[in-house]
Homo-oligomer: A and B are copies of this chain.
Amino acid sequence: MKKKQNIIDTATKLFSRQGFDGTTTLQIAREAGVTEPLIYYHFEGKDDLFTRIIENSFNTYFDRLKSLPAETTTQFEKIENLVALHFRFVREMPDEIYLAFSTCPAKLKDKSHVCSKKLEKQRKWLGTYLSSCLSTGIAGNEFHSVQIKETVSLLYALILGIVRQRGLHLNMLKGMSGTTIEFCRRSLVK
């Protein structure tokens, strides 16, 4: 069973760095220290392996989202928590979150594919979370009265950009988290 996990770990790394089509099963097998057919023993095929990894990544991600505190004294704390969560995730599981924000583009053509569905769910979740934050914050006079839809897209873009940036290392990320939160705070909070 150690070998199955090896396959998953190696594949996660390779898929997130080279893309689905840029990674061969032979490469996965070699780097995982197994033979190719073992991949087919544990998974139905390359597609299935990929799908499982995407599901795993999204599930871990959604679990973290769900554990965000529902009650906060200010609305901005919610945004702060969300941004901090993503920075932490990028530090701890950069490959997984990268995949959760950039699943195989070719697979997104099929709207019924797991990739499409999970990505859709993610977008909706973040959209709802941020919209609710913003409108409550504006109504409660905590926030400037920004355009909600546009600001949601902007914040989503910011998070996406953070997750996608490869080559940012630990030290940098730590500093960025605070800087980013303050950046948002000055923009939003009155």
Contact = CB atoms under 8 A, between A and B. Distances in A.
Interface of A: 17-22, 102, 104-106, 109, 144, 146-147, 149-151, 153-154, 156-162, 164-165, 168, 172, 175-176, 178-180, 182-184, 186-188
Number of copies: 4
B183 A105 contact: no
Given A162-B157, A187-B186, A187-B187, A179 B21 contact: no
A105 B20 CA distance: 11
A168 to B, nearest CB: 7
Nearest to A159: B161
Given A154-B183, A186-B187, A105 B175 contact: no
B150 A156 contact: no
A160 B150 contact: no
Interface centre among A102, A104, A151 (most CB of B within 10 A): A151
Given A184-B187, A187-B186, A175 B158 contact: no
A115 to B, nearest CB: 13
B160 A165 contact: yes
A48 to B, nearest CB: 17
